[in-house]
Chain A
Amino acid sequence: MALALQTFSTVKDANAALKAAGTRYLGGGTLAVRAANEGDVSVSSFIRSTEPSLSAITVSGGKVRIGASVTMAAIARHPDLSSLSHAAHAVGGPAIRNMATVGGNLFAPAPYGDFTVALLALDATLSTDGGDLPIETFLVKRESIHAIVTAVGFSLPAEGSFRFLKVSRIKPKGISVLSIAAVLEQAPDGTVSSARIALGCMADRPMRATATEKALLGRILTSHGIAPALAVANDGTAPITDPLASAWYRNEVLPVHLGRLLLA
């Protein structure tokens, strides 16, 4: 079957079209078209929707809503999202960022999905026509989700509480060896009062570093203070092995980079 593209003005119609066999939603196409070019013949029809809300960013009352078709470049240059701009900037080179969407990033397998790591730390909620679901629930079952994700929503992190680090071997742009995002809140005495930490490439999809989060509570961000958290950094990880790095290497360097992020 030849490849075809079907475009719908509403998400509803696009969702209906996606019920047919051999269909796949098309975001920016950086992974989907690439797969077709490389001989993946399982998809015969790309479906997309041009509904304007998919391309909108709204920020009001500390709440952010980013439409699924918004690109990394659009996030990186949005004046109200400056705290997230370097996480969006971490995806690909300039041309990729002009094409890569938030929606596609949510489905990108490791070593991709850097921005999703940020969204996981931010405890984002995903919207579909069938209702909302927390990002963690989504990540567990994303293979079985055939509905279009329409937007991601989250609370804007407090000033200075969001941290992001991508480790790659090629500068300035390279695929991740690993990525780390953290939302850390500190009490007036400097101790950590809440921590949400997400890791990329440490499993086949972004994961929470729950043991590290727990071990950070009540600690101060000094090398001594974070030592117990680093000691459990590898809890539950099952990193990928790819041409950039082996699973063993990723596990070895995770505590080093996590330490740098926490002490930054």
Chain B
Amino acid sequence: MAKVSVQFTLNGAEKAEFIDSGTTLLHALRDKIGDTSPKGGCHQGTCGACSVIIDGELRLSCLTLAETCSGAAITTTSGLSEGGVLHPLQRAFLDAFATQCGFCTPGMIMAAKVLLDHTPNPSRDEVVEALSGNICRCTGYEPIIQAVLTAARSNSQNAARGESKKMELRKSYFADQRKDDLHEIGQPRPRSDSPGHVTGKTAYFADRNFPGMLHLKMVRSPHHHARILSIDISEAEKHPGVVKILTAKDVPHNVYTILILIQIGPEDETVLADGKVRWKGEAVVAVLAETERAAQEAAAKVKVDYEVLPAVFDMEEALKPGAPIVNEYHGRNYYLYDSGECRKVRFGDVEAGFASADHVLEQTYQSSPIEHAPTETTGCIVAPEGNDRFTCYTNTQAMFFTLDNASIILQMPGNRLHFVGGTVGGGFGGKVDVIVEPIAILGAKLTGRPVSFIYSRAEEMQISSPRAAEKVVIKDGVMKDGRIVARKVTGYTDAGAYSRHSPYGAQKGAGHYPGPYTIPNVWIDTYCVYTNRTPSSAMRGFGVTIGDFALEVQMDKLARLIGMDPLEFRFINAYRDGDMKAHRQPTEGAALIECMQEASRAANWPVAEKFMAMSSYAKGA
């Protein structure tokens, strides 16, 4: 491979390196020079996390070839603070809570710095425009915009200091329920990880580089459902730079399911496809090579012969008799709970409730899969240690869960696995599946070399599990005076081809309905359904969030039906301490009444005085 020399200044210091021709500036900075403050969130120009300043202009280091920067002056976020004193932008990001996971922060600060260098007093619109090439999945942007405006106003480091915005804690609620004599809890505190984020010093799993590290690329199924007739890796194996190619037979315990740790089986998913693929994008063959490029080239040479099978994408279709069976380990297109074909809750007599109601309203709600799209993609780096142990640096959100599952899949005692986590560049529940670690550890074991397996942006968007698509049918009986007297919910969760966390998600749905309302007659059925779609899994309140969307839209419709204010309608039905829930648990620690009282004030949506006088725990009120 042709080596070329590049010379530039980085944050004022001269740098001269020999790099492979064609190396991006992002890789040169991170892997050769060791400045890991620019982050690789997409390598396609979309996220802005890799932004750097080259000769005074904002550039994307992932799309810039390092050799085109010879002679240039490059600035990165790691070079902004001097002598331990934060740059006004860094200070303002810290104070305004403009950084959460921190993965976008170095790029955001670069974009903001170029703006302020040219436009010291920008308008809000100018700030928004300047940041428009940078994506943040955590903050919702407003704190970032405010931070940039604050930094601009401060104009000097001294003025920026001490402007720290205090978090407001509304302590009047439940004041008689606690002593409020703790030193840390209940006090506003700066986030301890923010200084690392704004200086680019926070270490994410990929901010390390080992000599001799191999890169893993996955050959994936182009079909939604197909039989694998043959796999030919002979050409790929001969490709220069290829070190190892893995197929199903290399994986010691290839069929697994993550929830087996809590006895939720059967094992139903393959680490590498064996005989069949059940969704488009399923992992079939893993290629390990000296460079990413060699791995990509070899992956293109793997030949897989498929016989395409009929696929099913719709939950109702999947549940019909005669539908193609998605997953033979289940033998049917739904998860069989110990309670039968669905999770069930029965409370009171729902039919009698409907019969006595003034109105009955049945509505169907549906949602599509939702991708978490974290700015940092899923991945891990595994280093074999001398003592037959493996250290796995990972951005999993489920450390020990992953370790235990890797131990099962690899048939390797857990004490040989050392998992190192750290700051995750946005997870939102999307990084709880055990997908990259076992195969990367296996690669490290079979080659004796460090292995990096990091999802591309395309893989993150299409391969990583999304939130499940759901369908929710709600039937309610309501009285003219506002009381809901019966609620029947049928929920369907689209697990995709494999269980992952979905049987639990559907169960959570059963646990969550009928919502935070006290209803005397309740009937709940929730199904976990298999289709030939990307396996779904956890995401922020999975099994609950879509249910809440459906429930609250239904609440508004019911209020409209009986001509009542929607907020007052909720006060009438809100659960309060001591109320018996449909699951036969008495309610404890409810705070819905108080939340709605605050919402009524904040949104300037007045309700009758009697509702403002209510309390979640003092039943008389």
Binding site for B on A (CB under 8 A): 1-5, 7, 26, 28-30, 33-34, 36-39, 41, 46, 48, 73, 92-96, 98-99, 172-173
Contact = CB atoms under 8 A, between A and B. Distances in A.
Contact of B63 (A1, A5, A94, A99): A99
Nearest to B294: A2
A38 B65 CA distance: 15
A95 B58 contact: yes
Contacts of A99: 59-60, 63-64
B425 interface: no
B145 to A, nearest CB: 12
A120 to B, nearest CB: 24
A3 B66 CA distance: 13
Contacts of B291: 2
24 contacts: A1-B297, A2-B2, A2-B21, A2-B293, A2-B294, A3-B22, A4-B2, A5-B4, A5-B68, A29-B65, A37-B43, A38-B43, A38-B457, A39-B456, A41-B297, A41-B300, A48-B68, A94-B132, A94-B133, A95-B111, A95-B133, A96-B45, A98-B58, A98-B59
Contacts of A1: 297
A70 to B, nearest CB: 14
A93 B130 CA distance: 8
Contacts, number: 101
A172 B45 contact: no
A193 to B, nearest CB: 36
B297 A95 contact: no
Contacts of B67: 5, 7
B45 A30 contact: yes
Interface in B444-495: 456-458
B456 A173 contact: no
A145 B19 CA distance: 32
A46 B67 CA distance: 12
Residue of B2, B63, B128, B217 with most chain A CB atoms under a 10 A cut-off: B63
B20 A2 contact: yes
A94 B43 contact: no
Contacts of A39: 217, 296, 299, 456
A4 B293 CA distance: 12
Residue of B21, B128, B457 with most chain A CB atoms under a 10 A cut-off: B21
B134 interface: yes
Given A5-B21, A30-B45, A33-B63, A94 B296 contact: no
B496 interface: no
Nearest to A42: B300
A3 B59 CA distance: 21
A3 B20 CA distance: 9
B459 to A, nearest CB: 10
A94 B111 contact: yes
B1 interface: yes
A20 to B, nearest CB: 15
A68 to B, nearest CB: 16
A216 B294 CA distance: 56
* Pairs of residues from A and B, 4 with the lowest C-beta to C-beta distance, nearest first: A93-B133, A3-B22, A173-B132, A4-B21
A99 B20 CA distance: 22
A140 to B, nearest CB: 28
Contacts of B125: 172
Given A5-B21, A5-B65, A46-B22, A95 B60 contact: yes
B180 interface: no
Nearest to A243: B461
B166 to A, nearest CB: 32
B21 A93 contact: no
Nearest to B48: A95
A246 B136 CA distance: 27
B1 A2 contact: yes
Contacts of B134: 93
Interface in B510-567: none
Given A29-B65, A33-B62, A34-B44, 10 more contacts: A2-B293, A3-B21, A4-B2, A4-B21, A29-B64, A39-B456, A92-B133, A93-B132, A95-B48, A95-B60
